[in-house]
Amino acid sequence: QRAVLKFAQYTGAASIAGRFTPGTFTNQITKQFREPRILVVTDPRTDAQAVKEASYVNLPVIALCDSESPLAHVDVAVPCNNKGKYSI
């Protein structure tokens, strides 16, 4: 989570560190509703709900992928090691 927060701080982006609440991109009634222009995820398997919702609203998805990561609904896959504690 620290790497995500640092990235958001230095780039000026909004971040969702921790658990993703379903409906954040699709349910306009909730307080947590957001309309991002791009979604960057560190693991498409862990963040499957966010990637799936991004496909509903036509958000481009950039994912840091391992060799075993699912690439469904991922637009740009960056091959890297995303399993270790210090890898991201």
Are 54 and 73 in contact by the 8 Å Cβ rule? The answer is yes
24-43 pLDDT tens trace? 999 989 988 999 999 999 89
Within 1-88, strands assigned E span: 39-41, 61-65, 76-79
Confidence of residue 87 (pLDDT cuts 50, 70, 90): confident
pLDDT above 90 coverage of the chain, percent: 72
